[in-house]
Amino acid sequence: MDWLSVLPPLAAIAIAIWTRNVYWALGFAILLAETLAAGFNPALGALASVDRAAGVFTDAGNTRILLFCLIIGALIAYLERAGGFRAMVRWLTTSGTAAGPKRASGVTAASGVVLFIETNVSLLATGLLGKPLFDRLGLSRARLAYIIDSTCAPVSVLILLNGWGAFILGLLAANGVEAPLGVMLGSISLNFYALLTLALVAATILTGRTFGPMRAFDDAARAAPAPREDEAATETGGSLAAFLVPMFILVGGAIGFMWWTGDGNILRGSGSRAILWSVILATAAAFLFAARVPALRGKLVETGFDGMGKLLPAVTVIFLALALGDSLRALGTGVFLSGLASNLPMPWLLPAVLFLTACLTSFTTGTSWGTYGILVPVAIPLAVGAGIPLPLALAAVMGGGVFGDHCSPISDTTIIASLASGCDHLDHVRTQLPYALLAGAAATVLYAAAGLLA
């Protein structure tokens, strides 16, 4: 397929930006990918698209992600109706912990750093915490989505005591690297994109200033009236335990279940199982707190389904994104893109080229995991042949993978960040992309310089 294999993801991005309708964009990209795979036969492509969509559920991990995203809607509904959010925001504000915009943003970002163990848990926990704080202080949901997304994803590849670290170690060992742990640890300080992204988040928090399209959202948020308190929460006054207990179960359960499913090794645990089990338990706990609210008696099940219904559009986007990812893998999009980095006239440019190739691959396919699976086996022999240190080449691939994972409109991580913060998905992509491009441009220069000095 060669160049034709990149048409579906490029079409998805173009249609999403043009129409601001991500459903049409993803659906058309799946149809185009399957039509190309079917020898340019649109009828067969349409039938194959249906099979591809149905095939999403043949992967238990995909099914768990979709169930998790539905159930989290019920959790949010119970936390809101039991007054948990209101009580937590009141405590953070009155205690001075998050009394102003800088402190509220700092608390939210710090939560994302602490919860490095699993990206989706981190995104959801920090989003649930930050949303009422940002609303009360007149900060935009777009800024919240940017802070949690640009904290949680980069931290996951810097503090590698998680599934990402285990995956990278496995790839290095499988491709003949003698000291994989040392190479992985050596890549941390060279992961320029992740470090620069976190630095931009810190600068945004400390200065309170934003640029690009996000500034208009900030201005609108400051001019908007304060949100009306939830009636049930007002009636009961809210309980701090109604927030803390479910959140402790969500985060603690995810870590505990990863340890359990990994037979005592968190790195080997199943993230999808852990997060689904923990969100079910957290929702059950939130249900019990909501049951104590008189106004909710007889309406608890309805409340949960209402919460899930609000997240159905986001779940649909994730479902389509997963189907598109499968189509692109079958089409060979990532393999083709990785091959572009192999014909280099100047070997010292290899780290920069690997980084840009990983950026393009992850942005157009929406997956860092897939990018690593494709490019790490390619990067190792290229680095050895060019005389480039393996940690530098690995850092370039990992940083580029994060670029797409946290700002591509078809990435499940980007979608979950939008979901957790209550921000329109395309608004989140549009406001975060200038920051990602700035960090990406600076990282490219640094990788070129590092390759020259290596």
- pLDDT tens column, 186-214: 899 999 999 999 999 999 999 988 888 99
User: How remote is the C-alpha of 264 from its chain's centroid?
Assistant: 26
- Determine the average pLDDT of the residues in 302-310: 88
- Determine the average pLDDT of the residues in 93-106: 76
Each residue of 245-257: pLDDT tens digit?
A: 988 888 788 788 8
Is pLDDT larger for residue 180 or for residue 299? 299
Per-residue confidence (pLDDT) for residue 1, from 0 to 100: 56
Contact between 323 and 52 (Cβ < 8 Å): yes
Please state, for a pLDDT cut of 70, what percent of the chain lies above it.
Answer: 84
Q: What is the mean pLDDT of the chain?
A: 81
Per-residue confidence (pLDDT) for residue 17, from 0 to 100: 59
Is pLDDT larger for residue 343 or for residue 283? 283
Each residue of 415-429: pLDDT tens digit?
A: 888 988 888 888 999
How is the chain split into domains, by residue range? Answer: 59-161+213-316
**Long-range CB contact pairs, 44-51, < 8 A, 24+:** 49/323, 49/327
Residue 177 has pLDDT above 60, yes or no: yes
Please state, for a pLDDT cut of 90, what percent of the chain lies above it.
Answer: 22
Residue 227 has pLDDT above 60, yes or no: no
Range from 171-185, 194-208, 360-374 that averages highest in pLDDT: 194-208
Residue 163 has pLDDT above 70, yes or no: no
Residue 231 has pLDDT above 60, yes or no: no
Q: Which of 44-48, 178-182, 264-268, 397-401 has the lowest mean pLDDT?
A: 264-268
Is pLDDT larger for residue 253 or for residue 145? 145
Cα separation, 67 vs 87, whole angstroms: 28
Residue 328 has pLDDT above 80, yes or no: no
Is pLDDT larger for residue 229 or for residue 214? 214
Is pLDDT larger for residue 314 or for residue 252? 252
CA dist list (Å): 295 to 75, 290, 300: 18, 9, 10
Per-residue confidence (pLDDT) for residue 274, from 0 to 100: 81
pLDDT bucket at 175, cuts 50 / 70 / 90:
low
Residue 228 has pLDDT above 60, yes or no: no
Cα separation, 387 vs 307, whole angstroms: 55
Is pLDDT larger for residue 97 or for residue 20? 97
pLDDT bucket at 229, cuts 50 / 70 / 90:
very low
Contact between 253 and 277 (Cβ < 8 Å): yes
Range from 3-17, 326-340, 396-410 that averages highest in pLDDT: 396-410
Per-residue confidence (pLDDT) for residue 193, from 0 to 100: 96
